Chain A
Amino acid sequence: MVEEAANGLEALETIQKEKVDLALVDWNMPDMDGREFIREVRQDKTYKDMRMIMVTTETAITKVEEALEAGADEYIMKPFTKEIILEKLALLGMDTSNASK
């Protein structure tokens, strides 16, 4: 199932209500920066199994490093395709057999 959140706060609410396995996090959300979001989620052990992929137009190496330091599992530079996401999920050892939606 895919949930969408318009901004960081909404995303935080969503993960409290539903069990989320994977979050695609945009660096530039209207209210909060994606890195802060990831850092905040990572501080809460409840979400320790949740995978987070930063998806962004930022392409500097330092940005990739910052995202990883904040606790992102992976990083995708825009533009991207469905295939790129599936390849990243495979890298994370996630089952992609029914993830083609």
Chain B
Amino acid sequence: MSVSKSDFNYIRELVLERSAIVLDDGKEYLVESRIGQVAETEGFGTIDQLVKALRKNSHNGLQSKVIEALTTNETSFFRDIHPFETLKDAVIPELLENRKNERRLNIWCAASSSGQEPYSIAMVIRENFPVLLDWKIDFVASDISETMLNRCRSGKFSQLEVNRGLSAALLVKYFEKEGASWFIKRNLQEMIHFQQINLSRELPYLPKMDIIFMRNVLIYFDIETKKRILNQLISILQPDGFLFLGAAESTINLDSSFERTDYKHSGCYRLKR
């Protein structure tokens, strides 16, 4: 399905306004394929008709469907591996010491996509830190997309998904197979609270976080939005907390309150003292 210049611009503005995701010139093909798909499943013959309905706001939930269709949900278990090793070898051990009186830990995974990332964190905890079973763990995983959040909540993964980045030992320990699908076990699922949070808006109330994973999502935003989000994190992150960004992301030139830690290839940042 083809998209006219004006329809492309309309969709681009809508997506920017609602999600802060930037669609550069030349991304017409993306709109054609992904929004063409939405137009089809929603019963519009053309993208033009879909945009007319968007303009009139006559079609309930259509905006969200368009925005969700333009998010990129690529993820995998233990993606890039190093952040999870740093979590296990350095971050959680330090926090165990620093929080031994309160015995509580707050974790936020801020673009959880289909759930591989928060469940990887949950497995690191279960597998290595049995003492945390007696602590109060507040673990929030969020995304803009309700479709993705529902996938997270279902804890359901395909064979291809469990093939990627997940060790066989963890697969047999923490998953159950039903037909062709793999389900994460209840006790891991119950560790995490899934909630919709749009990072481009003012953030809802969140407790002070010890660990924030915000990986591979800032890359979709413009510089001002990145700055605004990082700036909000300053007050959400505990002074001795840890922020993980994606391998291609950094706070450099965006926010001078953070500094990169020495943990290799982990994208792990802390607030400057």
Contacts and interface: CB of A to CB of B under 8 A. Distances in A.
Interface of A: 59-61, 64-65, 67-68, 72, 74-77, 80, 83-84, 87, 90-91
15 contacts: A59-B159, A60-B177, A61-B171, A74-B167, A76-B163, A77-B162, A80-B163, A83-B164, A84-B164, A87-B164, A87-B165, A90-B81, A91-B78, A91-B81, A91-B165
Given A59-B177, A84-B163, A72 B168 contact: yes
B46 interface: no
Contacts of A75: 168, 171
B169 interface: yes
A69 to B, nearest CB: 10
Nearest to B176: A61
Contacts of B76: 87
Contact of B172 (A61, A80, A83): A61
Given A59-B159, A84-B163, A64 B168 contact: yes
A66 B69 CA distance: 41
B168 A61 contact: no
Contacts of A72: 168
* Residue in A65, A67, A76, A87 whose Cβ sees the most chain B Cβ within 10 Å: A87
B163 to A, nearest CB: 5
A77 to B, nearest CB: 5
A76 B171 CA distance: 11
Contacts, number: 40
Interface of B: 76, 78, 81, 159, 162-165, 167-169, 171-172, 175-177, 180
Given A84-B163, A90-B165, 19 more contacts: A59-B177, A59-B180, A61-B171, A61-B172, A61-B177, A64-B171, A65-B172, A67-B168, A68-B169, A74-B167, A74-B168, A75-B168, A75-B171, A76-B163, A80-B163, A84-B164, A87-B164, A87-B165, A91-B167
Contacts of A77: 159, 162-163
Contacts of B172: 61, 64-65, 68
A34 B98 CA distance: 48
A87 B160 CA distance: 13
A23 to B, nearest CB: 15
* Residue in A59, A60, A67 whose Cβ sees the most chain B Cβ within 10 Å: A59
Nearest to B82: A90
Nearest to A68: B168
Contacts of A64: 168, 171-172
**Nearest 4 pairs between A and B by C-beta?**
A75-B168, A87-B165, A90-B81, A84-B163
A91 B176 CA distance: 21
